[in-house]
Structure 1
Amino acid sequence: MTDFYQLKVLEVKKETADATSIAFDVPLALYKTFNYKPGQYLTLKFNIGGEEVRRSYSLCSSPALEEPLRIGVKRVKDGLVSNYINDNIKVGDLVDVMLPNGRFFAELKKDNYKTYYLFAAGSGITPILSILKTVLLTEERSFVHMLYGNRSQDSILFNEELEKLQKEYADRFILVHTLSRPKSNWSDLWLSGKKDKIHRKGRVDTLAIEWFINEYPPYAQNTEYYICGPGTMIENTKKALQDIDVPNERIFIESFGGVTSSDVTEGIDNASLVAQLNGETIKTTISNGKTILRTLIDAGKNPPYSCEGGVCSTCMCKLKSGKVHMKNNLGLDKSEVDKGYILSCQSIPLTEKIEVIYE
């Protein structure tokens, strides 16, 4: 799972002023190896300033199409890797890429008759676009209702592709844009044959969700809800869905960060760590302020990880003994935490001894 493959960059496309999409060529011999589900992500590895860094980026391509793997990367303030990609990656470059992974995806079947509600904000469109295209291509009887939030019309990622899908699947795909700071000429976008486009002012918040579902009720009662964006947007959307009694098992969430942690919890200095990893028993100590993951990496080991933000869950392991504190957890649900699973990239020791196992 932690193996990397060198893939060649086929295309670098400027999607907006601060976002780029990157397409990768997958050699024929690796086609099956790189099979993925709509909504999953790739982990990229770079050496920047002499340091190895990894980041996860969702696939916006569709596995139902014979098209290159494509990710979308938006600049982030002080974002080491996102800015490096936008400034430096060019066609022909070789990039170290891990196999597709992730637990945010749609299980699709040709004979399904469903309604899919897709909620995205900003760069959260990337996995949502993959799900959208694959549903429309694969499930001919299913319907998609999508609410997409951005700051202004200039920041709408994949706008041309979305417009094309609207025209091609007008009978099964409804798209509503909502902008928090629309430009004064916002209405001009809907002139000259674009009057059928639907838009509103505001964010993807509780009121927007309530309005959207009332305005566009499900066609098929078998309905699923997919959400991707920053933390506040996710919290608002989930609450709005729960308020109308949508079961949690029908709500699927992928976080793209956006939550600033004020956590000041301090761990035990020089706690003892025993880790079962790749068939090896590792014994070491955790220095003050370090996570379990960073302790293992600094010890020259190769634990699984990608985002180091508490989002992707690649670094998940099981706590066998001791107590830890997770500074951030957007990757595990309550049932997994109750079973003893932790995110090693976010876990600091609260007891003198910690024992974990990577399953």
Structure 2
Amino acid sequence: MTTTEQGVVALTGPATGWHRLRVARVQPLTDEAVALTLDLPDRLAGAFSHRPGQHVTVRHLLNGTEIRRSYSICPSPYGQRELRLVVKRLGPGGFAEYATTVLSAGDVLDIAPPTGGFGLVARPGAHHVMVAAGSGITPLLSMATAALQDDPRCRVSLVYINRTARSVLLADELVDLKDAHVDRFLPLYLLTRETREAEMLSGHIDTTRLPRLLRAVGAEPDGHAYFYLCGPWAMVTSLREALTQWGADPAWIRSEHFSLASRDPSPPVAEPRARTMRITASLGGRTTVAVMEDQDRVALDALLRDRPDIPYSCREGLCGSCRARVTHGAVTTGRQYVLGPGELAAGYTLACRARPQSDETGLDFDL
């Protein structure tokens, strides 16, 4: 998943190290999704302290192959010493199918600490307008809950897009949040494959329907509303453009998308190297030197040979788990969807997108 906004995006971390957490319960949410609740020992409370909107990486060995997936942390109704994730199956294979069909209480998962820059604007009394699609509700529910609890003057409006009523995730918890803040929380449910009594809430969201939905929640182009988008890449991209055309200040739009429309059409290509290129990586207070070889496309390829604990998940510049600061030397950062202009200017890169351009390059994953 990736987080973007105009200006500086402050990703937090580092998400280093792995911790084995026991599954306390697996709660079915829909035919395709479950909520995983993980026990969080007191000794790990600090390591897993997080802001609403952040995510963790899950590491799993499937048929002898290691896979990693990022999931937003969702509020747990059971207690503070638990970590709750929502996993939705999108197709056959992968961790999501395992989690929704095999995983059970008592099993153990490898989890990396929270990271990510998606979060609330710190503006007391603000109107937070959120648009989620499918499992994009998980970070937004966490953010909405925190905003309503911590700021008694704020309002939160949610447009939640799903195919059918049966596919709505965390429906009971959204109802509970509405009951607890009846005057300050307004959820609207838009279904794309079912006809609802209100025409405005049936069908896909588009540039025509969006302004009507915004008016319905009391948002105006010249108002003081902040916007948060979470869903597939295509939806988030189109809604960001539509909001800007409607008149929203681009600096007041934050977004996170959990999938790409397609793979990068021009990923880095491995090239023969005429000279030795070394990468000095600092992680967890320990320094390692790796050498780029001809088959290595990006810095992460070289680093993983010597430091398998280097944090990463998607390898497509999407989740931000492999964020590092360039301490010396130079890299080019290929297409990525996480770092904002401020962080790029400050020297940050993603190891899965970084191609060293100097004989000696330093990357610090602890900064």
- Provide TM-score, normalisation by structure 2: 0.83
Match of 1:236 in 2: 238
**Structure 1 segment 1-359 matched on structure 2, within 5 A:** 1-61=15-75, 66=80, 68-106=82-120, 112-182=124-194, 186=196, 200-218=201-219, 222-265=224-267, 267-271=269-273, 272-278=276-282, 279-288=286-295, 290-318=297-325, 320-321=328-329, 324=332, 326=334, 328-348=335-355, 355-358=361-364, 359=367
Q: Output one character per residue of 1:23-56: Cα deviation in whole Å (capped at 9) or x when no partner.
A: 1111233333322111111211222222333221
Structure 1 102/3 Cα, relative in aligned 2: closer, same or farther at 3 Å? Answer: same
Structure 2: gaps of 5 or more residues: 1-14
Structure 1: gaps of 5 or more residues: 188-196
Q: Secondary structure at the match of 1:59?
A: strand
Once the 2 structures are TM-superposed, how far is the Cα of residue 352 of structure 1 from its aligned partner? 8.2
Distance 2:304 2:41 in 1: 30
Q: Output one character per residue of 1:285-315: Cα deviation in whole Å (capped at 9) or x when no partner.
A: 2444633213211344432223333222121
Distance 1:226 1:277 in 2: 34
RMSD over aligned CA atoms reads 2.9
Q: Output one character per residue of 1:197-221: Cα deviation in whole Å (capped at 9) or x when no partner.
A: 9961122333332222222224995
Q: Could you tell me whether the CA contact under 8 Å between 2:178 and 2:186 is conserved in 1?
A: yes
- Specify which structure has the bigger relative contact order, considering alpha-carbon pairs within 8 angstroms and separated by 6 or more residues: 2
Q: Secondary structure at the match of 2:144?
A: helix
Distance 1:316 1:306 in 2: 11
Structure 1 264/250 Cα, relative in aligned 2: closer, same or farther at 3 Å? Answer: closer
Distance 1:316 1:78 in 2: 30
Q: Could you tell me whether the CA contact under 8 Å between 1:270 and 1:285 is conserved in 2?
A: no
Q: Secondary structure at the match of 2:114?
A: coil
Q: Secondary structure at the match of 2:101?
A: helix
Distance 2:93 2:133 in 1: 19
Structure 1 289/205 Cα, relative in aligned 2: closer, same or farther at 3 Å? Answer: farther
Q: Secondary structure at the match of 1:55?
A: strand
Distance 2:205 2:299 in 1: 36
Task: State the AA in 2 paired with 1:13.
Answer: Q
Match of 2:9 in 1: none
Distance 2:125 2:254 in 1: 18
Deviates more, 1:300-309 or 1:88-97: 300-309
Q: Could you tell me whether the CA contact under 8 Å between 1:266 and 1:289 is conserved in 2?
A: no
Structure 1 133/71 Cα, relative in aligned 2: closer, same or farther at 3 Å? Answer: same
Q: Could you tell me whether the CA contact under 8 Å between 1:121 and 1:204 is conserved in 2?
A: no
Deviates more, 1:99-108 or 1:147-156: 99-108
Distance 1:144 1:340 in 2: 35
Structure 1 66/357 Cα, relative in aligned 2: closer, same or farther at 3 Å? Answer: closer
Q: Could you tell me whether the CA contact under 8 Å between 1:46 and 1:54 is conserved in 2?
A: yes
Once the 2 structures are TM-superposed, how far is the Cα of residue 137 of structure 1 from its aligned partner? 2.0
- Provide TM-score, normalisation by structure 1: 0.85
Q: Secondary structure at the match of 1:100?
A: strand
Task: State the AA in 2 paired with 1:331.
Answer: V
Structure 1 333/286 Cα, relative in aligned 2: closer, same or farther at 3 Å? Answer: farther
Distance 1:173 1:198 in 2: 22
Q: Could you tell me whether the CA contact under 8 Å between 2:333 and 2:350 is conserved in 1?
A: no
Structure 1 64/355 Cα, relative in aligned 2: closer, same or farther at 3 Å? Answer: farther
Distance 1:117 1:147 in 2: 8
Once the 2 structures are TM-superposed, how far is the Cα of residue 83 of structure 1 from its aligned partner? 1.7
Aligned residues: percent identity?
27
